[in-house]
A and B are shown apart, each in its own frame.
Chain A
Amino acid sequence: MLGRFTQGELAIAGRRREQLLFLMDNGIYVVTVLLFVAFIFLAPYFFTPRNLVNILISASLAGIVTAGYTVAILAGQIDTSTQGVLAVATVTTALLFEEAGFSLPLTVIFALLAGIAAGLFNGLIVVNGKIVAFVATLATQGVMLAIALFLSGGQTITIAREGLQEAVFIRVFGIPSSVWIMFLCYIVGYIMLTQTKLGAHIYATGADYRASLLSGVPVDRVIRIALVISALTAALTAILVTARAKQSAMFGLAIAGSVDFVTALTAVLLGGFSLFGGVGRIERNLVAVLFLTILGNGLQLMDVPTGIILIVRGFALVLAVILSVLRARMT
């Protein structure tokens, strides 16, 4: 098909397309800054130190889970089990710390191990069962939610014991540790994706599974690792959510309004990632998460009813999906 065009024509078409893609990719930076400036004027108390720290805390919880989610998307795996992993890890955290009396480090280790186990379980179904991740993880999420329900006896576990929230939300330079952890996740993610062999293989596997396989990329192992990373960040988020609320959250959604699969998906798509894998840059996701958090926070401060805010967020996802599909058609 390409044979019908001269190389000159191809080059011009290519350049125009790349310019448009550049705009679509980087528009999120401009839009986020505009939104921020608009809310300074429109939303009372928006531009106060206290509210800005609030935005950062909310963004950190959504941001960490999105970082791992991004890695799975890049490998071509839409991981819908985030809420299941959150539920298992939050119950694990609360049970071990409150009821079993585990030390904080041990609690954290076991909660993260629960996340890794969930990721390996996903990998087993996706790779060995040869089932598309979107469907496979939807099914495994059901299993995980049931396990969480069984472990907790269907009850919210309140954490009365001191030490969890205080330790997890220590402020360093006036900013809570969860924010620092989020930045750390993105720095590690950035280095892994751009500077390591694993990162190159994650991009390649997501962009073209067959070509990667024929070129000797260990595609199955790459998919397993990506799913484990996704589940691991969900577990990390669960620990922070549990510590912040001082209770287990049966559904991540219940207490941390911004931590869920849909937000992660919206952020990933707004950040210029392809729903089909292999395209996107993790740093843009950080901005997309900030954008969504600022949007929710600003509207709330303007006393917009919650229902309207949810509708706006819904439209943000619709817009993000349209952008993603446009992008896929162009590449």
Chain B
Amino acid sequence: MASDEVILETVDLDKSFGAVHAVRSVSWKVYSGRVNALVGDNGAGKSTLIKLISGALQPNAGGFRVRGQETRIGGPAGAFGLGIAAVYQDLALVENRDVVMNMFLGSELTRGPGQIFLDHKGMLRQAHKVLDDIHARIPNVREMVRNLSGGQRQAVAVGRALIRGGEIIIMDEPTAALGVEQTQEVLQLIGTLRAQGKTIILISHNIQQVFEIADYISVMFHGDLLGTRSRDEATETEVVAMIMGKRSP
């Protein structure tokens, strides 16, 4: 898979919280149109690295190269501008609002004088299209999010990321709280996104699942990036050893 193109690269990225050195000079390559899994034990620095990429945190040192261009990611809005969208672990959905309003929350389509009026029809149309594209099984987009299953919620959150122009979609433990049936649904969703050429960054604890779905597997340990393997060349034993901190040759 040496022919895969790098879409996003962190360059000597460094982040400390007081005495805690959460991310140590990490240079990580994310491959375009692939599922890039990031694994590691609790406290390995995965979440911090992801937050740096989604603009939720600012690094102490180092930078980013996106599509070959050196760049800064100033904040969540800056990340959106670069096509990077995070789907948070708790999804950040509003339970008492319907699917459409959740998908467009914070980026509503508007019309009329001063763009103060909502374009309900336009949002409805686009929501249908995006959900169809990712084969989401949501019978009624006017349904309140509180009545959706875990898999459906994930689809809504991913739909929101796509509506914001997300090309690189960060998914933080998307199946952590789900049962078997819905986990399969989410894995299918990830497959669909990849088939459409989206780049996925997947954080997961579930090694089996990672081997099932990921193209690349990167391991972090105590703030260091120990290495990246393509799925075909990696073995579960090796990856588990790396998660425990054993640097492989």
Give me the interface of A with B, judged by CB distance under 8 Å: 1-7, 10-11, 14, 17-18, 195-200, 203-204, 207-208, 210-212, 214-217, 274, 278-279, 331
Chain A CB within 8 A of B107 CB: yes
Q: Which of A6, A10, A197, A278 has the most CB of B within 10 A?
A: A197
Closest A residue, CB atoms, query B105: A215
Please give me the 9 A-B residue pairs with the lowest Cβ-Cβ distance, nearest first. Answer: A3-B179, A216-B106, A14-B147, A215-B106, A211-B92, A215-B105, A208-B94, A214-B92, A207-B96
Chain A min CB distance to B109 (Å): 9
Q: Would you call B118 and A200 a contact (CB within 8 A)?
A: yes
Closest B residue, CB atoms, query A218: B106
Q: Would you call A197 and B116 a contact (CB within 8 A)?
A: yes
As a 0/1 sequence over residues 58 to 90 of chain B, the CB contacts with chain A under 8 angstroms (1 = contact) are 000000000000000000110000000000100
Q: Would you call B177 and A2 a contact (CB within 8 A)?
A: yes
Q: Would you call B96 and A197 a contact (CB within 8 A)?
A: no
Q: Which one, B93, B105, B116, contacts A198 given CB within 8 A? A: B116
Chain A min CB distance to B39 (Å): 22
Q: Would you call B149 and A278 a contact (CB within 8 A)?
A: no
Q: Would you call A278 and B105 a contact (CB within 8 A)?
A: no
Q: Would you call A3 and B178 a contact (CB within 8 A)?
A: yes
As a 0/1 sequence over residues 136 to 150 of chain B, the CB contacts with chain A under 8 angstroms (1 = contact) are 000000011011011
A217–B92 Cα gap in the complex (Å)?
12
Closest A residue, CB atoms, query B107: A216
Q: Which one, B97, B106, B177, contacts A207 given CB within 8 A? A: B97
Q: Which one, B96, B101, B149, contacts A2 given CB within 8 A? A: B149
Q: Would you call A203 and B147 a contact (CB within 8 A)?
A: no
Chain A CB within 8 A of B108 CB: yes
A117–B115 Cα gap in the complex (Å)?
27
**Set of chain A residues within 8 Å of B93, measured between Cβ atoms:** 208, 211
**Set of chain B residues within 8 Å of A214, measured between Cβ atoms:** 76, 88, 92
Contact-residue bracket for chain B? 20 to 34
**Set of chain B residues within 8 Å of A5, measured between Cβ atoms:** 149
List 17 interface pairs A-B (beta carbons < 8 Å), by A numbering.
A1-B177, A2-B149, A4-B179, A6-B181, A7-B149, A7-B181, A14-B143, A18-B144, A196-B117, A197-B108, A204-B97, A207-B94, A208-B95, A214-B88, A215-B106, A216-B106, A331-B146
Q: Would you call B110 and A197 a contact (CB within 8 A)?
A: yes
Chain A min CB distance to B176 (Å): 10
Q: Would you call B106 and A18 a contact (CB within 8 A)?
A: no
Chain A CB within 8 A of B182 CB: yes
A104–B20 Cα gap in the complex (Å)?
65
Closest B residue, CB atoms, query A210: B92
Q: Which of A5, A203, A204 has the most CB of B within 10 A?
A: A204
Closest A residue, CB atoms, query B146: A331
**Set of chain B residues within 8 Å of A17, measured between Cβ atoms:** 147
Whether A10 touches B147, Cβ cut-off 8 Å, given contacts A3-B177, A200-B108, A204-B97, is: yes
Chain B min CB distance to A14 (Å): 4
Q: Would you call A3 and B116 a contact (CB within 8 A)?
A: no
Give residues 162-190 of B contacting A (CB, 8 Å).
Answer: 177-179, 181-182
Chain B min CB distance to A222 (Å): 11
A203–B146 Cα gap in the complex (Å)?
15
Chain A min CB distance to B166 (Å): 13
Q: Would you call B97 and A3 a contact (CB within 8 A)?
A: no
Q: Would you call A212 and B178 a contact (CB within 8 A)?
A: no
Chain A min CB distance to B150 (Å): 5
Chain B min CB distance to A11 (Å): 8
**Set of chain A residues within 8 Å of B118, measured between Cβ atoms:** 195-197, 199-200
**Set of chain A residues within 8 Å of B115, measured between Cβ atoms:** 197
Closest A residue, CB atoms, query B91: A211
Q: Which of B93, B96, B108, B182 has the most CB of A within 10 A?
A: B96
Chain B min CB distance to A99 (Å): 40
Q: Would you call B77 and A204 a contact (CB within 8 A)?
A: no
A1–B146 Cα gap in the complex (Å)?
13
Closest A residue, CB atoms, query B153: A2
**Set of chain B residues within 8 Å of A208, measured between Cβ atoms:** 92-96
Chain A min CB distance to B161 (Å): 11
A18–B142 Cα gap in the complex (Å)?
13
A10–B144 Cα gap in the complex (Å)?
13
A208–B116 Cα gap in the complex (Å)?
22
A14–B139 Cα gap in the complex (Å)?
13
**Set of chain B residues within 8 Å of A3, measured between Cβ atoms:** 150, 177-179, 182
Chain B min CB distance to A9 (Å): 10
Q: Would you call A217 and B96 a contact (CB within 8 A)?
A: no
Q: Would you call A279 and B177 a contact (CB within 8 A)?
A: no
Q: Would you call A216 and B77 a contact (CB within 8 A)?
A: yes
Q: Would you call B94 and A212 a contact (CB within 8 A)?
A: yes
A18–B96 Cα gap in the complex (Å)?
12
Whether A278 touches B116, Cβ cut-off 8 Å, given contacts A1-B177, A3-B178, A217-B106, is: no
Closest B residue, CB atoms, query A192: B116
Q: Would you call A215 and B92 a contact (CB within 8 A)?
A: yes
Chain B min CB distance to A49 (Å): 39
**Set of chain B residues within 8 Å of A200, measured between Cβ atoms:** 101, 105, 108, 118
A207–B151 Cα gap in the complex (Å)?
22
Chain B min CB distance to A285 (Å): 17
Beyond A3-B179, A216-B107, A278-B97, list 4 extra A-B contacts (CB 8 Å): A14-B147, A18-B144, A211-B93, A215-B160
